[in-house]
Chain A
Amino acid sequence: MAENDLKLLGAWPSPYVMRPRIALNIKSVGYDFLEEQFGTKSDLLLKSNPIYKKIPVLIHDGKPICESLIIVEYIDENWNSGPSILPSDPYDRAIARFWATYIDDKWFPALRGIAAAQGEDAKKAATESVIEGLVLLEDAFKNCSKGEKFFGRDKIGYLDIALGCFLGWTRVTEKLNNLKLLDESKTPGLYKWAEDFCADSAVKDVMPETDKLAVAAKWFPLRRVLAVAQGDDAIKAAPEPVVEDLVLLEDAFKNCSKAKKFFGGDKIGYVDIALGCFLGWMRVTGKMHNVKLLDEAKIPSLYKWAEDFCADSAVKDVMPETDKLAQAAKILLPKIRADASS
Chain B
Amino acid sequence: MEGTKNVVLLDFWPSSFGMRQRIALALKGIEYEAREENLFDKSPLLLEMNSVHKKIPVLIHNGNSICESLIILEYIDQVWHDKYPLLPSHPYERSQARFWADYIDKKYLQIYSTGRRVWSGEGEDQEKAKKEFIEIFKTLEGELGDKTYFGGDNLGFVDVALVPFTSWFYSYETCANFSIEAECPKLVAWANRCMQIESVSNSLPHPHNIYAYVLELKHKLGLS
Contacts and interface: CB of A to CB of B under 8 A. Distances in A.
Range class of the B interface residue count: 20 to 34
A71 B94 CA distance: 11
A90 B95 CA distance: 18
Interface string B72-83: 101100110000
Nearest to A60: B92
A101 B139 CA distance: 24
B91 A51 contact: no
A93 B95 CA distance: 16
Contacts of B181: none
A94 B94 CA distance: 17
Given A93-B78, A94-B74, A67 B66 contact: no
A79 B189 CA distance: 38
Contact of A74 (B68, B95, B102): B95
B83 to A, nearest CB: 15
Interface in A70-117: 70-71, 73-74, 77-78, 90-91, 93-94, 97-98, 101-102
Contacts of B72: 94
A66 B61 CA distance: 32
Nearest to B53: A102
A49 to B, nearest CB: 10
A101 B68 contact: yes
Interface residues of A, number: 21
Of the candidates A67, A94, A97, the one having the most CB atoms from chain B within 10 angstroms of its own CB is A94
Given A94-B74, A98-B68, A98-B71, A67 B99 contact: yes
Interface string B52-78: 100000000100101110011011001
Contact of B75 (A60, A63, A91, A102): A91
B71 A97 contact: yes
Contacts, number: 54
B178 interface: no
A80 to B, nearest CB: 8
B98 interface: yes
B29 to A, nearest CB: 18
A136 interface: yes
A77 B89 CA distance: 10
A247 B78 CA distance: 48
A298 B128 CA distance: 29
A65 interface: yes
Given A73-B94, A78-B91, 6 more contacts: A65-B92, A70-B102, A74-B91, A97-B74, A98-B67, A98-B71
12 contacts: A60-B92, A65-B95, A73-B94, A78-B92, A90-B75, A91-B66, A93-B75, A93-B78, A94-B71, A94-B72, A97-B71, A98-B67
